[in-house]
Every structure is written in structure tokens, then in C-alpha cells.
Amino acid sequence: MGVGWGTDEKAIIWVLGHRNASQRRLISETYQQLYDQPLVDSLHSELSGDFGKAVIFWTYDPPVRDAILANEALQTKRKGINHLLPIVEIACATSPHHLIAVRQAYCSLYNCSLEEDILSTISSPFRKTLVGLVSPYRYDKEVVNMDVANSEAALLHEAIERKQLDQDSVLWVLGTRNIFQLRATFQCYEQNYGSPVDEDIKSCGKGDLESLLGVIVRCLDCPERHFAEVVRNSIIGLGTDEDSLTRAIITRAEIDLMKVRGEYNNMYNSSLDSAVIGDTSGDYKDFLLTLLGAKV
């Protein structure tokens, strides 16, 4: 990477794109020692556009990256729930351990807690939902109780029937139960009541709370399907939503990107790689494809 001599984007793609999080952390630390400057700062000054943004997000330590994504989400003053997706994804589609690391990184970066910023920037009823999702520390092993699954499927069904999705008990189930228990509960729901819980939530009403809870259930139940949808939505229609595309690929690269790829194929009967190739170009395209494991 040149210091005033131009930048070798291909080398950046090659070196960083093939390194896992702990290797990237080592590279960042060594860079800091050699050049007395954070690697992300150098990347900031040398790279720009979607490529620069993607490389920088990839170079951050994952908890720091997700804290920044959450903070950007909270700064975005838009209607609807689309800008809140990064927070739902961090809360519902990453490990309990990672979520805690993100909340610790958030405190270090922004001098207040993620919960405080959610409460002060988001309005009702989303703030209650989001605080209830980011706060608990879920148990992370596969312990499933079928009685709990049945009774909490009934609890969800009753809340949906009564259109009382904002009640505490719904949030407590979705926020505190371990992911394996929740998937069993969602299965029970479908067996006992005939349709998937996220579909029933959406049929409850067309409001933003219904959409948000639908996404929450999707992220808890099958994150790869959620991220396949994020990629799809980022490329369909006029223009590309590069921020969402970057987020989906960067944040899942070391978790379940191959599953997202497979799910994309199932859902849309076309390849995720071709979608990226068709909607991006240049170094940005090469970098995303590298993360997707394609030979560039």
C-alpha cells in the first residue's frame, strides 16, 4: 500500500480479503507498530467510495465494526424500519458473546451504552423492542424444553390473535430464550397453528411494529434467509443499495456466508455471485467476490 505513491488496491483485496478476524487484528496491530498510525486511518485516507467503506469495515475488529453499524443506524433519521436492521441483526443473528463485545465496544467508542442511545434516539414502540433485544445475555447452548416451546408458541399465538404484539411477555420470549429453544418454539407454532409465526405476525397488520417483529423472528429462526433477502433487496429495482449489500457480505463472511449463498439460490433460483457481478464493478466487485470465495 503506497504512502503517497498511489495505492495498490489489488494487494489490499488479496491480503485483507483472505484473512480471518484474528489475522486481520494481527495485521492491524503490526501496521500500527510499524507506521505509528492505525491501519483503518491509512485506509480512510487512501481509499474512497464503496470499496473503501467495505475494506474499512472488514478491517475493523468485528465488535467495533458492529458498534459503528449500530451507531450509524441510530443516527439515521428515516421512517420505516429498514435503517434499524443492523441492530436487529446484531441482537438476533450473532452469538451472545459477540453481542456483549459489541456493547462493550459501543461504550468505548461513544461514551454511553448502546441501550442509552437506543432509548434517546428511537421512538416508541421500537425503542422498547430494541432495548429488550440487545440487553439480555442469552444462554448459548442447545437446551430445548418442549413444554416451554408449546406454552410459548401459545403465548405468541394469543398475542397475535389479540393484536398485542407490544406486550412485555412477547419481548421476553424473543429477547431472552436461547436460539435453539426459540427455533423449537417457532416449529411448535407452525405445527399447532398451521402457519409460520412471522407470516402470522405480518398478517396482524401492516404497521412498522409488525414488520420489525417479522424481521426479528426471521433473524432468530433462519439468519441465512434474512441475509439472502437483504442482498436481494439491495440489488433489485433501480440502482443498488451498496451499504446493505456490503453489510450483509462483510458481517456474515465469517459466520454463514456460504449458507446465505445457498439460501439465495433456493429462494431466487439464481446465484448470489452473479447478482454481485451484475450490480457492482471494479475493486468493490472484486473485494466482495473475494469474500464470497470466488477466484478474482
Interacting residue ranges for its own copies, rule: CB under 8 A: 100, 103-104, 107, 111-116, 119, 128, 131, 135-141, 143, 168, 172, 175-178
Q: How far is the CB of 64 from its own copies (least distance, A)?
A: 16
Q: 43 or 131, CB closer to its own copies?
A: 131
Q: How far is the CB of 154 from its own copies (least distance, A)?
A: 16
Q: Is the peptide bond before 136 cis (omega within 30 degrees of 0)?
A: no
Q: 136 or 262, CB closer to its own copies?
A: 136
Q: How far is the CB of 10 from its own copies (least distance, A)?
A: 41
Q: 159 or 288, CB closer to its own copies?
A: 159
Q: 112 or 146, CB closer to its own copies?
A: 112
Q: 43 or 69, CB closer to its own copies?
A: 69
Q: How far is the CB of 46 from its own copies (least distance, A)?
A: 33
Helices 146-161, 179-193: crossing angle, 10 deg rounding: 60
Q: 134 or 248, CB closer to its own copies?
A: 134
Q: How far is the CB of 136 from its own copies (least distance, A)?
A: 5
Q: 143 or 236, CB closer to its own copies?
A: 143
87 with 216: CB under 8 angstroms? no
Q: How far is the CB of 90 from its own copies (least distance, A)?
A: 13
How many CB atoms within 10 Å of residue 296?
14
